[in-house]
Amino acid sequence: MIHEMRPEDVFGVSELERICFSDPWSLESVKEGLVSSLDTWLVLKEGGGLLGYCIFRIIAGEGELLRIAVHPEYRGRGLSKKLMDRLVEYSRKKEVMSLSLEVRESNNKARNLYRSYGFKEETIRKNYYRDPQENAVIMWNRRI
* Span interacting with ligand COA, options 6-14, 72-80, 87-95, 129-137, rule CB under 6 A: 72-80
The Cβ of residue 104 has, within 10 Å, a number of other Cβ atoms equal to 18
102 a catalytic residue: yes
48 in Cβ contact with 89 (< 8 Å):
no
Among 3, 6, 57, 81, binds ligand COA (CB under 6 A): 81
CA–CA separation, 21 vs 19, rounded Å? 6
| Rounded Cα gap, residues 133 and 130, in angstroms | 4
Name the catalytic one among 53, 114, 117, 134: 114
CB of 133 to ligand COA, least distance (A): 16
According to CB under 6 A, which one of 7, 48, 76, 132 is a site residue for ligand COA? 76
Q: Is 139 in the site for ligand COA (CB under 6 A)?
A: no
Q: Which of 31, 45, 75, 86 binds ligand COA (CB under 6 A)?
A: 75
* Cβ atoms 119, 99 nearer than 8 A: yes
Question: Of 3, 109, 120, 142, which lies in the binding site for ligand COA, with binding defined by CB under 6 A?
Answer: 109
Per the CB < 8 A criterion, the answer to whether 137 and 111 are in contact is yes
Residues labelled as active-site residues: 102, 114
